[in-house]
Amino acid sequence: MNRRKFIKTAAIGAAASTTLAAPALAQSGEIRWRMTASWPKSLDTLFGGCEYLAKRVSDATGGKFRISTHAAGEIVPALQVLDAVSAGTVECGHTAPYYYIGKDPTFAFGTAIPFGLNTRQQFAWMEFGEGRQLMNDFYKDYNIIGLTAGNTGCQMGGWFRKELKSAADMKGLKMRIGGFAGQVLSRPGLDLVPQQLGAPDIYPALEKGTIDAAEWVGPYDDEKLGFNKVAEYYYYPGWWEGGPQLDLMVGTRAWESLSSEYKAILQAASHDAYLWMVGKYDAQNPAALRRLIAGGAKLRPFPRDIMAASWKAANDLYGETSAKNSKFKKVYDNWSKFRDEQNRWFRFAEGSFDNFMQSVSLQPIKKG
């Protein structure tokens, strides 16, 4: 072989290899992002999920991709996460998409809508039922993409200063409640007055009587926020949040700046944070509920007529919203079909198993 020709060819090949590898090498440089959240630091499962996600990204990249986490109010208020990410003020944010239904009700599907999917069903719809594709197509108008990054599990119905004996008791109550549920409960026959407040503002409003009731998540978080100290009736279930999902919203420009490897790492860390959060809530809620009851909380199911009136109001609202909002209708048509199929399946396996186990395990064991 001609030695001079070999050296020349090898040099050209090396140069081409370097050129092709350049984007990956550039990506391997240090990346610093900021994540703003809708949660205070005191909520160690919600905000803890943000910290966990950021740590997973850092660990997977040897510290080359780091995301600093910022609680509600440190960069922007709790309910302005979407705006901050959309404007490029921060690269990403951890929030509940249904906080932003004032911009478009379609955002609600990114978290939960009344009488919707449970936790497993929500994840299944997002990842295998076209949910994520539909939502990210919708998010394009806001210069963001969403990654599935948390779920609280089915929530409680909230804290009330007075006992609810019928739907008539809802009339005129001022309640902190987010998403579509507030619109459902404000309809004729229920006539509740919904209030949208971030976590840090709920306790003061309930304590001062500015609001009469409040819902947040469930026993573990509610205990931390101290709602039992200012309202004694604790209702269930949170029929408006059967499996409320949280998103990591990422600015389109920030997302596109990542290599395919870093995109995969961020997505994997988000899914990992989802499972971490679900497991942590499931582990912590039972003991927290026992403590709340021991401390005087009065546990109550929603009266049947409230549930029935809410079911009808929710379905009426979905029909009306679909008729005037094509974006909402596009997602709702897919989502509702998926929900109905899931409930047919869960009825036979999951539902019947859960019902049996709860009926026998909550009874005292007879000796000998």
**Could you state, in order of their start, the residue ranges of all structural domains in the chain?**
29-154+243-283
DSSP 112: -
Q: Rounded to the nearest 5°, which phi and psi values hold at 152? A: -90, -10
pLDDT given at position 196:
87
Taking the domain 29-154+243-283, which CATH number applies?
Answer: 3.40.190.170
Query: C-alpha dihedral over 218, 223, 229, 232, to 10 degrees?
Result: 30
Query: C-alpha dihedral over 281, 284, 290, 294, to 10 degrees?
Result: -110
Q: Which helix (H) or strand (E) holds 176?
A: strand 174-176
Q: Rounded to the nearest 5°, which phi and psi values hold at 156? A: -85, 165
pLDDT given at position 179:
78
Provide the whole-model pTM. Answer: 0.88
- Condensed to tens digits (0 to 9), the pLDDT of residues 296-318 reads 999 999 999 999 999 999 999 99
CA distance 113 to 284: 25
Q: What is the percent of the chain where pLDDT is above 70? A: 91
- Give the pairing type, strands 31-37 and 92-95: parallel
Burial of 145 (0-12, 13-18, 19+ CB in 10 A): buried
Is the pLDDT score of 362 beyond 60?
Answer: yes
DSSP 43: -
- Condensed to tens digits (0 to 9), the pLDDT of residues 148-160 reads 999 999 999 999 9
- Condensed to tens digits (0 to 9), the pLDDT of residues 306-359 reads 999 999 999 999 999 999 999 999 999 999 999 999 999 999 999 999 999 999
Q: Could you tell me the pLDDT band of residue 199, with boundaries at 50, 70 and 90?
A: confident
| Residue 287 CB coordination number (10 Å) | 12
pLDDT given at position 28:
56
Helices then strands, counting H and E runs in the chain, come out as 13, 11
pLDDT given at position 14:
40
CA distance 235 to 303: 10
**Amino acid sitting at position 171:** K
